[in-house]
Amino acid sequence: MAEKDKNFSRRDFLKTSGIATGALIGGGIIGGLIGANTNTKDTGTDAPGTSGGTKESSSSSVRGLTFFKSMAEFEVLSQATERIFPEDDLGPGAIGLSVPYFIDGQLAGSYGENSKEYMQGPFFEGEPTQGYQSRLKRNEMFQQGIQLMQQEAQSRFDTKFVDLNGEQMDEILTAFQDNEIKMRGVESQFFFRLLRQATLEGAYADPIYGGNTNMDGWRMKGFPGHQLAYINDIESEDFVEMDPKSIGMEH
């Protein structure tokens, strides 16, 4: 099964994305890719993996950070999300899909500020079945979590998080996932779940939110986005391929 499916997915992706995947496959490329994406603020939109010479990328204007204040923090976030959703032969990873920019934007808004959550005290530690009981906002959790990733990189490997190899990054992320990292005001496994979920949101949300660049997340997955209707296709015995559409407008 796998061979046939992979072939289909890859063909579909290549056909629609215009990305020269050959140049991007392979573990060593990712580090360089991240650097290219994050160190060149002035040309941030032209990061490899997101370009492909499409109209969207050339017409979009400058890109910057609205929550994070330091590029160093943003680079840690970028690499962590890339480990969660990596570049491969199916298509771009989190960085190529602009997931870090998506997360940065969301942390600056109502998501990061918990504006639709009950944040009144008193706060008590509860049972796991009672859910989120932290007084921290999500953007505070992300900030703290990223600082701790840096600290873990220093204490475990005596270097910066962004300079670790993939396996070393995974070791630290796994420690967060397994609740082995001591965080203040929140458990690390809760933060990790947020990070994982936000990565998937950035990969697959409508590109109007700044992620899912060129709708490549949707292309990989075979989801056509905003189609008006499937009434004429829903009885089809065959799988229906469609070029995805965003709900956004062209400017």
Partner 1 sequence: MVTTLESVDVVTVGVGWTGGIIAAECAKEGLKVVGLERGRERGTEDFTMVHDEYRYAVRYELMQDLSKETITFRNNRKQRALPMRQLGSFLLGEGLGGAGTHWNGQTWRFLPYDFEIKTMTDKKYGANKLSADYTIQDWGITYDELEPYFDRFEKTAGISGEDKNPFWGKRANGYPTPPMKKTPILQRFEKATTDLGLTPFMLPSANLSEAYENPDGQKINACQYCGFCERFGCEYGAKTSPEITVVPAAKETGNFEVKFNANVVEVMKEGDKVTGVRYYDTVTFEEFIQPANVVVLTSYVMNNAKLLMVSDIGQQYDPTTGQGTLGKNYAYQILPGATGFFEEQMNTFMGAGALGMSVDDFNGDAFDHGDLNFIHGASLSMTQTGSRPILSNPTPPDTPSWGADFKRASIENYTRTLGVGGQGASMPHKENFLALDSTYKDIYGVPLLQLTYNFTDQDRALHSYITEKTSNIVKEMGAKTVAARGSISDYDIVPYQTTHNTGGTIMGADPDTSVVNNFLQHWDAENLFVVGAGNFAHNGGYNPTGTVGALAYRCAEGVIRYSREGGSLA
Contacts to partner 1 by CB under 8 A: 1-2, 5-6, 8-9, 83-86, 88, 90, 93, 110-111, 114-120, 122, 124, 126-133, 170, 173, 196, 199-201, 203-206, 208-209, 217-218, 220-231, 233-237, 239-240, 247
Query: 117 or 243: whose CB is closer to partner 1?
Result: 117
In the bound complex, what is the minimum distance in angstroms from residue 221's beta carbon to partner 1? 5
**What is the CB neighbour count within 10 angstroms for residue 39?**
10
Q: Is 165:135 a contact under the CB 8 Å cutoff?
A: no
In the bound complex, what is the minimum distance in angstroms from residue 123's beta carbon to partner 1? 9
For residues 24 and 107, give the distance between their C-alpha atoms in angstroms, rounded to a whole number.
29
Q: Is 14:219 a contact under the CB 8 Å cutoff?
A: no
Query: 70 or 197: whose CB is closer to partner 1?
Result: 197
The token pair at 8 is: 């289909």
In the bound complex, what is the minimum distance in angstroms from residue 41's beta carbon to partner 1? 26
Query: 158 or 237: whose CB is closer to partner 1?
Result: 237
Query: 71 or 78: whose CB is closer to partner 1?
Result: 78
In the bound complex, what is the minimum distance in angstroms from residue 47's beta carbon to partner 1? 19
In the bound complex, what is the minimum distance in angstroms from residue 237's beta carbon to partner 1? 5
Query: 65 or 220: whose CB is closer to partner 1?
Result: 220
* Per-residue burial over 99-134, b = 16 or more CB atoms within 10 Å of its CB, e = otherwise: bbbbbbbbbeeebbebeeeeeeeeeeeeeeeeeeeb
Residue 146 vs residues 49, 60, 248: alpha-carbon distances, Å: 24, 29, 32
Residues 6+ apart with CB under 8 A from 94: 78, 81, 82, 84, 85, 86, 100, 199, 202, 203
